[in-house]
Amino acid sequence: MKFVSIVAAFLVPMTAMAAVAPISKKDHHEANKPVHAMASKKGQLYVKLNRATNLKDKDTFGKSDPFVEMWLEKGYKQRSKDTKGLNPVFNETFCFYVRSGQNKLYARAVDRDTFRNDKIGEASIPLDQVMNSGNVGPQDYDLPKWLGLRSNGKLNLQMQFVEDTSA
Protein backbone atom coordinates (compact mmCIF):
# COMPACT_ATOMS: atom_id res chain seq x y z
CA MET A 1 0.00 0.00 0.00
CA LYS A 2 2.65 2.40 -1.15
CA PHE A 3 0.16 5.15 -2.01
CA VAL A 4 -1.11 5.21 1.58
CA SER A 5 2.44 5.51 2.92
CA ILE A 6 3.00 8.55 0.70
CA VAL A 7 -0.22 10.14 1.93
CA ALA A 8 0.67 9.29 5.53
CA ALA A 9 3.96 11.15 5.10
CA PHE A 10 2.00 14.36 4.53
CA LEU A 11 -0.09 13.78 7.63
CA VAL A 12 2.93 13.50 9.94
CA PRO A 13 3.55 16.66 11.99
CA MET A 14 6.43 18.79 10.71
CA THR A 15 8.56 17.98 13.80
CA ALA A 16 8.50 14.29 12.91
CA MET A 17 9.29 14.73 9.22
CA ALA A 18 12.96 13.82 9.68
CA ALA A 19 11.92 10.27 10.61
CA VAL A 20 10.03 9.73 7.33
CA ALA A 21 11.99 7.91 4.65
CA PRO A 22 12.44 9.73 1.33
CA ILE A 23 10.08 8.77 -1.48
CA SER A 24 11.68 6.36 -3.93
CA LYS A 25 11.31 6.73 -7.70
CA LYS A 26 9.08 3.64 -7.70
CA ASP A 27 6.77 5.11 -5.02
CA HIS A 28 6.67 8.43 -6.85
CA HIS A 29 5.70 6.62 -10.06
CA GLU A 30 2.92 4.67 -8.27
CA ALA A 31 1.46 7.84 -6.73
CA ASN A 32 1.48 9.68 -10.05
CA LYS A 33 -0.14 6.98 -12.19
CA PRO A 34 -2.94 8.23 -14.43
CA VAL A 35 -6.41 7.68 -12.99
CA HIS A 36 -7.29 5.01 -15.59
CA ALA A 37 -4.39 2.89 -14.29
CA MET A 38 -6.21 2.68 -10.94
CA ALA A 39 -8.88 0.45 -12.54
CA SER A 40 -6.55 -2.53 -12.16
CA LYS A 41 -6.87 -2.34 -8.36
CA LYS A 42 -8.90 -4.89 -6.46
CA GLY A 43 -10.39 -4.81 -2.99
CA GLN A 44 -13.51 -4.09 -0.95
CA LEU A 45 -15.91 -1.34 -1.99
CA TYR A 46 -18.30 -0.18 0.72
CA VAL A 47 -21.29 1.78 -0.55
CA LYS A 48 -23.64 3.52 1.85
CA LEU A 49 -27.00 4.30 0.29
CA ASN A 50 -28.12 7.27 2.36
CA ARG A 51 -31.29 8.40 0.62
CA ALA A 52 -33.07 9.15 -2.63
CA THR A 53 -34.63 12.50 -3.48
CA ASN A 54 -37.28 13.63 -5.94
CA LEU A 55 -37.94 10.17 -7.37
CA LYS A 56 -40.40 10.17 -10.25
CA ASP A 57 -43.74 8.68 -9.28
CA LYS A 58 -44.32 5.60 -11.46
CA ASP A 59 -47.57 4.54 -9.78
CA THR A 60 -50.83 5.59 -11.38
CA PHE A 61 -52.75 4.25 -8.41
CA GLY A 62 -51.35 3.72 -4.96
CA LYS A 63 -48.13 4.84 -3.35
CA SER A 64 -44.53 4.44 -4.45
CA ASP A 65 -42.55 1.60 -2.92
CA PRO A 66 -39.02 2.30 -4.19
CA PHE A 67 -35.95 0.16 -3.70
CA VAL A 68 -32.44 0.37 -5.14
CA GLU A 69 -30.39 -2.32 -6.88
CA MET A 70 -26.60 -1.95 -7.12
CA TRP A 71 -24.00 -4.01 -8.93
CA LEU A 72 -20.54 -3.89 -10.47
CA GLU A 73 -19.72 -4.85 -14.04
CA LYS A 74 -20.11 -8.62 -14.38
CA GLY A 75 -21.16 -8.87 -10.74
CA TYR A 76 -24.15 -9.93 -8.72
CA LYS A 77 -26.84 -7.43 -7.72
CA GLN A 78 -27.52 -6.29 -4.19
CA ARG A 79 -30.83 -4.75 -3.23
CA SER A 80 -32.05 -2.33 -0.59
CA LYS A 81 -35.17 -2.79 1.47
CA ASP A 82 -38.44 -1.46 0.09
CA THR A 83 -39.37 1.96 1.40
CA LYS A 84 -42.30 4.32 1.06
CA GLY A 85 -42.48 7.68 -0.69
CA LEU A 86 -40.56 9.67 -3.28
CA ASN A 87 -37.83 10.90 -0.89
CA PRO A 88 -36.95 7.71 1.02
CA VAL A 89 -34.17 7.40 3.59
CA PHE A 90 -32.37 4.05 3.33
CA ASN A 91 -29.21 4.27 5.49
CA GLU A 92 -28.00 0.87 4.23
CA THR A 93 -24.42 -0.19 3.54
CA PHE A 94 -23.42 -2.69 0.86
CA CYS A 95 -20.08 -4.40 0.33
CA PHE A 96 -18.72 -5.41 -3.08
CA TYR A 97 -15.49 -7.18 -3.94
CA VAL A 98 -13.94 -5.22 -6.80
CA ARG A 99 -11.93 -7.35 -9.22
CA SER A 100 -9.33 -6.04 -11.61
CA GLY A 101 -11.03 -4.27 -14.50
CA GLN A 102 -14.29 -3.49 -12.68
CA ASN A 103 -14.41 0.29 -12.76
CA LYS A 104 -18.12 1.18 -12.60
CA LEU A 105 -20.87 0.86 -10.04
CA TYR A 106 -24.42 0.71 -11.36
CA ALA A 107 -27.36 1.84 -9.23
CA ARG A 108 -30.97 1.51 -10.33
CA ALA A 109 -34.01 2.87 -8.50
CA VAL A 110 -37.08 0.73 -9.00
CA ASP A 111 -40.71 1.10 -7.92
CA ARG A 112 -42.05 -2.21 -6.60
CA ASP A 113 -45.46 -3.19 -7.92
CA THR A 114 -47.58 -6.29 -7.56
CA PHE A 115 -47.40 -7.43 -11.18
CA ARG A 116 -44.35 -5.68 -12.62
CA ASN A 117 -41.66 -3.47 -11.12
CA ASP A 118 -41.13 -0.10 -12.83
CA LYS A 119 -37.65 1.26 -13.45
CA ILE A 120 -37.35 4.84 -12.15
CA GLY A 121 -33.80 5.56 -13.29
CA GLU A 122 -30.27 4.18 -13.43
CA ALA A 123 -26.87 5.71 -12.71
CA SER A 124 -23.48 4.54 -13.97
CA ILE A 125 -20.85 5.68 -11.47
CA PRO A 126 -17.13 5.58 -12.36
CA LEU A 127 -15.01 4.19 -9.51
CA ASP A 128 -11.75 5.94 -10.45
CA GLN A 129 -12.16 8.67 -7.85
CA VAL A 130 -12.94 6.37 -4.91
CA MET A 131 -10.24 3.87 -5.94
CA ASN A 132 -7.70 6.68 -6.14
CA SER A 133 -8.61 8.60 -2.97
CA GLY A 134 -10.02 5.84 -0.77
CA ASN A 135 -13.41 7.46 -0.19
CA VAL A 136 -16.01 9.71 -1.78
CA GLY A 137 -19.09 11.41 -0.53
CA PRO A 138 -21.69 11.79 0.55
CA GLN A 139 -22.53 12.75 -3.02
CA ASP A 140 -25.68 12.93 -5.15
CA TYR A 141 -25.91 10.95 -8.40
CA ASP A 142 -28.58 11.70 -11.00
CA LEU A 143 -30.98 9.01 -12.14
CA PRO A 144 -31.41 10.14 -15.74
CA LYS A 145 -34.46 9.39 -17.80
CA TRP A 146 -33.90 7.61 -21.09
CA LEU A 147 -30.99 9.18 -23.04
CA GLY A 148 -30.20 11.36 -20.02
CA LEU A 149 -32.56 14.13 -21.09
CA ARG A 150 -34.19 14.67 -17.69
CA SER A 151 -33.63 13.51 -14.15
CA ASN A 152 -35.94 11.02 -12.48
CA GLY A 153 -34.41 11.78 -9.08
CA LYS A 154 -31.11 11.45 -7.25
CA LEU A 155 -29.36 8.88 -5.08
CA ASN A 156 -27.10 10.04 -2.26
CA LEU A 157 -24.18 7.63 -1.83
CA GLN A 158 -21.02 7.51 0.21
CA MET A 159 -18.24 5.13 -0.88
CA GLN A 160 -15.04 3.76 0.60
CA PHE A 161 -12.49 1.54 -1.15
CA VAL A 162 -10.04 -0.68 0.76
CA GLU A 163 -7.39 -2.05 -1.59
CA ASP A 164 -6.41 -5.71 -1.37
CA THR A 165 -2.62 -5.61 -1.24
CA SER A 166 -2.05 -9.36 -0.84
CA ALA A 167 -0.36 -10.98 -3.79
pLDDT < 70 stretches in the chain: 1-39, 59-62, 146-149, 167
Whether 38 is in a domain gets the answer no
Contact 44, 164 (CB under 8 A): yes
Same domain for 81 and 20, yes or no, is: no
At residue 29, the pLDDT reads 42
Whether 79 is in a domain gets the answer yes
Same domain for 29 and 47, yes or no, is: no
Same domain for 11 and 61, yes or no, is: no
Same domain for 19 and 59, yes or no, is: no
CATH of residue 113's domain is 2.60.40.150
What one-character DSSP code corresponds to residue 100? T
Q: What distance in Å separates the CA atoms of residue 162 and residue 114, rounded to the nearest whole number?
A: 39
Same domain for 85 and 131, yes or no, is: yes
Nearest to 31 by CA among 6, 9, 12, 55: 6
At residue 130, the pLDDT reads 94
Render pLDDT for 97-111 as a digit per residue (tens, 0 to 9): 998 888 899 999 998
Average pLDDT along the chain: 77
Contact 86, 121 (CB under 8 A): no
Angle at 56 between CA 54 and CA 58, to 5 degrees: 150
Domain count, the chain: 2
Q: What distance in Å separates the CA atoms of residue 162 and residue 43, rounded to the nearest whole number?
A: 6
Same domain for 80 and 157, yes or no, is: yes
Whether 134 is in a domain gets the answer yes
At residue 153, the pLDDT reads 93
Contact 36, 14 (CB under 8 A): no
At residue 157, the pLDDT reads 97
Same domain for 158 and 80, yes or no, is: yes
Report helix, strand or coil for 32. Answer: coil
Same domain for 19 and 53, yes or no, is: no
Same domain for 76 and 157, yes or no, is: yes
How far does CA 112 lie from the centroid of its chain?
Answer: 23
At residue 91, the pLDDT reads 97
Same domain for 126 and 57, yes or no, is: yes
Of the CA atoms within 13 Å of residue 91, those in its CB half-sphere come to: 1
At residue 137, the pLDDT reads 83
Could you list the residue range(s) of the whole structural domain that residue 25 is in? Answer: 2-33
